[in-house]
Structure 1
Amino acid sequence: MILCALIATLAGAVLAYAGHPRQGLLKTARPALCGGLAAVCVAVGAFAWVREFGVGSGIAGLSVNLMLAWVALPYVAWWRRYGHAAERTR
């Protein structure tokens, strides 16, 4: 159940990030598609976290995973855009 919670939470975070107009992972943002799917994934993740650990710890686990993903995603987008270009020029 923990793996399901991690995957659902990460998918929700990635979809929420991909739906934002200033994201850097995709060429164009898709807010209508990504917003609804992100909400469903986060809700499934929240249910899995709460079911596994209880209300307080489950919400804390959900929050920590969402925040870590949202901190890491801009760096992943930067690396995809500029990191690969630096490696190709060597």
Structure 2
Amino acid sequence: MVGYLEEEAIHSYTKFLKELDKENIENVPAPAIAIDYWQLPPNSTLRDVVMVVRADEAHHRDVNHFASDIHYQGHELKEAPAPLGYH
């Protein structure tokens, strides 16, 4: 279930990016806390922050679906390390 919630977050952030690109939302400078947390360049904008947050949500989606698949197969997550290339 959590993987699907993360997927919905990705759709929401994608819509937000489209509104930024259409200039319906002002692409203001990124707040310092976001620049520090996400290790962004000092001149980053709101769009840059939304991009990294959306990517993080995509990672959470993938992790949660992977864990669900392992559970569905009757295994424990500790028995099934993530495959190579998985992030």
TM-score (norm 1): 0.34
Larger-Rg structure: 2
Q: Which has the higher helix share?
A: 1
